[in-house]
């Protein structure tokens, strides 16, 4: 199955209905993204995914500066 969605100016995308149905997700659910070798896997976030994201969120500000934005803009 191939589905397509466009990004908004805020880099948001609507997950197409066939994908939402296949994943069993609904409004308000959390989703997880896994990136490997240029491919992205989207899945319904498990409680473990959510707990991990909360555990590391305070450590990610280390790379959140205007200099970092400039350095990684083209990636």
CA atoms of 59 and 47, how far apart (whole Å) = 20
pLDDT tens digit string along 5-52?
A: 999 998 999 999 999 999 999 998 989 999 999 999 999 988 787 888
Give pLDDT, residue 19.
Answer: 94
Coil, helix or strand at residue 59: helix
CA atoms of 33 and 50, how far apart (whole Å) = 12
pLDDT tens digit string along 45-73?
A: 887 878 887 787 777 666 677 887 788 77
Give pLDDT, residue 45.
Answer: 85
pTM (two decimals): 0.60
């Amino acid at each position: 199955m191939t589905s397509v969605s466009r990004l908004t100016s805020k880099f948001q995308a609507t997950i197409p209905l066939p994908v939402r149905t296949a994943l069993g997700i609904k409004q308000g659910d959390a989703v997880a993204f896994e990136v490997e070798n240029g491919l992205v896997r989207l899945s319904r976030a498990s409680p473990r995914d959510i707990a991990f994201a909360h555990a590391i969120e305070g450590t990610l500000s280390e790379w959140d500066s205007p200099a970092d934005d400039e350095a990684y803009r083209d990636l």
